[in-house]
Chains A and B, each alone.
Chain A
Amino acid sequence: MNNYSYISLIPLLPIATFLLLGLFGRKYFSSLSGIIGTLSLSVSAFLSILTAYKYFFVDGKVNGVFQQIIPLKYTWLQFSPTISIDMGIVVDPLSVMMLVVITFVSLMVHVFSLGYMKGEERFATYYAFLSLFTFSMLGLVLSTNIFQMYMFWELVGVSSFLLIGYYFDKPSAVAAAKKAFIVTRFADLGFLIGILILAFHAETLDFQTLIARLTDPQSSQILSSVTSSLFGVSALTWGLTLVFMGGAGKSAMFPLHIWLPDAMEGPTPVSALIHAATMVVAGVYLVARLFPVYCFDVSALQVVTYVGAFSALLAAVIACTQTDIKRVLAYSTMSQIGYMMFSLGVSKYGGEEGLGYMASLFHLFTHAFFKSLLFLGAGSVIHMVHSNEMKDMGGLRKHMPITHITFLIACLAIAGIPPFAGFFSKEEILLAAFHSNKLVFFVALFTSGLTAFYMFRLYYSIFWKKAAHLHGEHHDEGTFTMKIPLVILGACALLVGFVPISQFITSDGIGLETHIDVIFSITPVALAIAGILLATSLYKNENDRPIKISLAFGKFYEAAHKKFYIDEVYLFIIQKIIFNLIGRPAAWIDKNIVDGLMNLLAFITAEFSEFFKGLQSGKVQSYALYFFAGIFGLAVLFIYLVK
């Protein structure tokens, strides 16, 4: 077995960069910090790709099964002989793939930001935060221990908060950062409780042991977790559902998705990195990591399935009505992650039945490329027109040819047109859904048509529709460093579909033979093309049909445009119910009882000290009297009371 311990360098390089740039960057080498961050990350990316090569092609496979390797592990906190928090690194197909995705996309974003963020005052800080995020995300995917993962999970949340609130002088960005943090934090509460439930029953925090114990029908741990129940639901289901709640929070699944659209207040490359390719798929990763346990518990998996499918549909509908291009992309991300989730949900463990698992991670892999490409393209567009709104764009295809072409590729990829990347992964997902749950399959099919429609609505609105009317100066397609990532990611979006992921990443580690079922794929492709054609007819040239259609939908359109009032529902619940019923009484108790006690204590102390201060009169004879009284008291005490 080969030595993989150098993998620890992959997350350690970004954290070193973070410390360097965070502590000294702004003062000493502000303009160089981008280069430093990019260079350090490119080393990480190189190491990741090297690891992937070594693992997948050289020595990962033993007897046709990919092994889980733990090259580094040491106990950090020992709670009891069985429960400890370890720090370690796990190498298995899942983590290696995530390593490649994260470092690669992060590298692209770093390079893109060199141009996009140029001239920002807090350039070094920006790169420091990017490095911190990359570190946390890498740590998350490499965790051997569920608690280690939880810590990195929170770190990811923090760095996401910092990056969303990067423009902290903008109130909306601050609000968005807070919203993202609070919503995901709330979800993480569920995650933590889930961890505690699972750890309590499995008597371990280690992933390997936990999975081994909770998937063996004979083990005492599984018996205890199945037999103990709350509200008629077994502890195992509760634990897994709560863990999924954490995942849903990070992955913006309904109903915890409300932070994601607002998070678009952050710099666009950040959206590409965090809110498209890496952080939001952490939930998918989490479910995939614990997948063997989820397979054991049908009801938890059902939750995953339906939440995923509903989120996919809901987000797609909302995406059709949004006018801010980044928000469209955000909802599209949410929709695609919904795909991954329900794909996991319909999967089973091992063999042909495990197709959904493979398809989900395949989609994660391809989605990372074309979605970050879409975001970077959008960033490029925003850089050009200085606006996020569709109405300020149009006809840009002449002005920014590279962005145009790569954006088109990405749109085709996400719409699922062969031979672009998205086609292959989506195909597998639909196939998996078709075999196990027809309802989900039809939802997915409809959503995939909708996806094609709104992506091309976006595409036409940006690049066609009307003649470009750029006013003012300072319009260009961006620097060389902004174009390079677009081109590279465009090539990836075109080609990664051909990567035989099914050979590498399966639920049981055994390679899976897949092939494209041509008959089956006619329907989704036809639907996608129909969506594209519809978008073409509506948005390619300026006309009044979109308005007419939106009027025809009436209330429904209005509701979708307002994101189905979910934000308002939350506000209502929080402000009217939680504030009044819990917040105000709590505040009252805090002000009157807790503070009152403290004040009382302080008052008593003050009075006492006032009294004792009076004793310090400076009059010698008074002191002599006290002294005398003291002696007298002691004499009585020792002669009569203490024998």
Chain B
Amino acid sequence: MINEITLTDILFVSTALFFIGVYGFFTRRNMITMLMSIELILNSVNINFVAFNKYLFPQHLDGIFFTIFIITIAAAEAAVAIAIIINLYRSHRSIDVEDASELKY
């Protein structure tokens, strides 16, 4: 067993990827790169689902299905986000989040 890759190791990868995404989301000012960070976060979640399914509940397929649905929804989300970004670019000539701060006090 000691030589096997355990679930905890895979979770280390997914957690690290998750926080890399979070870091990107906090520091990036360009909206497209923020969107990329979100994709990273979603992927780390996907890894989690798949890994849990494989290591803890090999007799079921639920984790796989969740992954599939998340990928689908991520695609839809990316499409909508990019449509919004393009629209914003038209009105502001910029996709910097700092520039789009009308919604404040």
Interface residue ranges, A against B (CB under 8 Å):
613, 616-621, 624-625, 628
List, in ascending order, chain A residues with CB within 8 A of B26's CB.
621, 624-625, 628
> Can you report 6 residue pairs joining A to B where beta carbons are below 8 Å apart?
A616-B105, A619-B98, A619-B104, A620-B97, A628-B22, A628-B26
List, in ascending order, chain B residues with CB within 8 A of A620's CB.
97, 100
Report how far A449 CA is from B100 CA in the complex, Å. 98
Interface string of B7-24 (1 = CB under 8 A from A): 000000000000000100
Report how far A247 CA is from B37 CA in the complex, Å. 86
List, in ascending order, chain B residues with CB within 8 A of A618's CB.
100-104
Determine the main DSSP class of A at the interface with B. Answer: helix
Chain A min CB distance to B60 (Å): 27
Task: Find the B residue at minimum CB distance from A619.
Answer: B101
Interface contact A613-B101, CB-CB below 8 Å: no
Q: How many contacts A-B (CB < 8 Å)?
A: 25
Chain B min CB distance to A412 (Å): 85
Interface string of B66-105 (1 = CB under 8 A from A): 0000000000000000000000000000000110111111
Chain B min CB distance to A125 (Å): 52
- Selected from B25, B97, B104, the residue in CB contact (under 8 A) with A616 is B104
Report how far A54 CA is from B97 CA in the complex, Å. 93
Report how far A617 CA is from B101 CA in the complex, Å. 7
Interface contact A619-B105, CB-CB below 8 Å: no
Report how far A628 CA is from B22 CA in the complex, Å. 9
Report how far A126 CA is from B88 CA in the complex, Å. 71
List, in ascending order, chain B residues with CB within 8 A of A616's CB.
104-105
List, in ascending order, chain B residues with CB within 8 A of A619's CB.
97-98, 101, 104
Chain A min CB distance to B24 (Å): 11
List, in ascending order, chain A residues with CB within 8 A of B97's CB.
619-621
Chain A min CB distance to B1 (Å): 28
Chain B min CB distance to A632 (Å): 11
Instruction: In the A-B complex, list the 5 residue pairs whose CB atoms are closest, starting with the nearest.
Output: A618-B104, A618-B101, A616-B105, A613-B105, A620-B97
Chain B min CB distance to A617 (Å): 6
Task: Find the B residue at minimum CB distance from A614.
Answer: B105
Interface contact B25-A621, CB-CB below 8 Å: yes
Task: Find the A residue at minimum CB distance from B97.
Answer: A620
Report how far A608 CA is from B98 CA in the complex, Å. 25
Interface contact B25-A617, CB-CB below 8 Å: no
Within 8 A of A (CB), among B15-50: 22, 25-26, 29
Chain A min CB distance to B53 (Å): 24
Interface contact A617-B104, CB-CB below 8 Å: yes
Report how far A130 CA is from B105 CA in the complex, Å. 58
List, in ascending order, chain B residues with CB within 8 A of A625's CB.
26
Report how far A126 CA is from B98 CA in the complex, Å. 71
List, in ascending order, chain A residues with CB within 8 A of B104's CB.
616-619
List, in ascending order, chain A residues with CB within 8 A of B105's CB.
613, 616
